[in-house]
């Protein structure tokens, strides 16, 4: 019997964050201890609101959502409404959440869970900028020896940048936080653009979500005449796909953040190598660049599993099968 993995989802929803959260909540192998919101794709007040909307859509009001950091460690916040819309979840509108924002600081929640659970049992699943995680390490450096792993979506090597010529958005927003995390000694698994740009939302794949009936409880909960969970997911994909298809000239948009959760559920779908990754924080041209020593030419010790390939068909099979259970 597969042992349940304890995870904390740190996120800045974002449509692809939303799909990742749904995948986690639909998977019994994962025990979601908390969702901690961070400013990123949109400001914090929207990311924690969106996180609660997603939990309610999945019928999981039992999962506590906390607000974390509202700005990067050392820079002004950069957001991405031009991709995700003014709400961060543009597409089919979801009702305002009824579940309250949980009391307490999301950073302290991360620290408390890591310290109170047995050492080496809590994985941090990071779908946005690394501000909350770096702040937790500043407040309580001892958690570095207790975190099982950090699995994050961020960075790039072969695909270079998506917000600047050199940098991927999540790392670019708070490179100082990323630098602190990559220097922490915690085991890190990186799902960069090199992987996510191979997980494209083709028309056939999006159609599978749109045709999804969803679980009986979900249909009853959403009510007659309301869109199914599959239609909601398809509308999210349609919205942000409009930007990426034009940008990359591909047949679909990259579905970034669900790769983090998929790795936890089925690591065999991904391939990469252990390399050293450093974060550029000074250069105005390459700020936020993930300098991945893919060819191992520096002699620096590996500090991350940097993934490069994914079985895209199996990845989408997993998404549709699991989310279809909600």
Q: Could you give the residue numbers annotated as active site?
A: 256
Helices (H), 85-168: 106-116, 131-139
What is the C-alpha separation between 9 and 179, in angstroms, rounded?
20
Task: Give the Cβ contact number of residue 62 at 10 Å.
Answer: 9
Task: Give the Cβ contact number of residue 313 at 10 Å.
Answer: 11
Question: DSSP labels for 17-28?
Answer: HHHHHHHHHT-T
User: By C-alpha distance, which of 105, 176, 183, 179 is closest to 144?
Assistant: 183
Helices (H), 214-278: 216-222, 229-248, 258-265
Residues 56 and 65: beta-carbon distance below 8 Å: no
User: By C-alpha distance, which of 112, 94, 92, 93 is closest to 102?
Assistant: 112
Q: What is the DSSP letter of 125?
A: E
Between strands 304-310 and 270-275, the pairing is antiparallel
What is the C-alpha separation between 323 and 21, in angstroms, rounded?
10
Q: What is the DSSP letter of 68?
A: -
């Amino acid at each position: 019997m597969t042992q349940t993995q304890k995870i904390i989802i740190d996120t800045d929803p974002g449509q692809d964050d939303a799909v990742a959260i749904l995948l986690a909540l639909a998977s019994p192998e994962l025990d979601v201890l908390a969702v901690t919101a961070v400013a990123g794709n949109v400001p914090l007040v929207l990311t924690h609101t969106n996180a609660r909307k997603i939990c309610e859509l999945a019928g999981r009001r039992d999962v506590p959502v906390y607000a974390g950091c509202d700005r990067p460690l050392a820079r002004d916040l950069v957001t991405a409404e031009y991709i995700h819309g003014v709400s961060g979840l543009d597409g089919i509108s979801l009702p305002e959440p009824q579940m309250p924002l949980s009391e307490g600081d999301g950073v302290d929640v991360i620290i408390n869970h890591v310290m109170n659970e047995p050492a080496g049992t809590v994985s941090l699943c990071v779908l946005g900028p690394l501000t909350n995680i770096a702040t937790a390490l500043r407040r309580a450096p001892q958690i570095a020896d207790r975190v099982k792993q950090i699995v994050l979506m961020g960075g790039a090597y072969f695909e270079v940048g998506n917000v600047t010529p050199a940098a991927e958005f999540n790392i670019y927003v708070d490179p100082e936080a990323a630098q602190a995390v990559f220097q922490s000694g915690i085991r890190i698994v990186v799902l960069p653009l090199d992987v996510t740009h191979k997980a494209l939302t083709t028309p056939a794949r999006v159609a599978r979500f749109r045709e999804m009936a969803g679980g009986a409880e979900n249909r009853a909960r959403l009510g007659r005449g309301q869109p199914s969970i599959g239609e909601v997911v398809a509308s999210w994909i349609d919205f942000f796909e409009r930007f990426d298809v034009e940008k990359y000239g591909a047949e679909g948009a990259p579905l970034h953040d669900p790769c983090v959760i998929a790795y936890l559920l089925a690591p065999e779908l991904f391939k990469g190598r252990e390399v050293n990754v450093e974060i550029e924080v000074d250069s105005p041209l390459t700020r936020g660049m993930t300098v991945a020593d893919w060819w191992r030419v520096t002699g620096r010790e590996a500090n991350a599993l940097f993934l490069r390939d994914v079985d895209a068909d199996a990845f989408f099979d997993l998404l549709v099968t699991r989310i279809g259970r909600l």
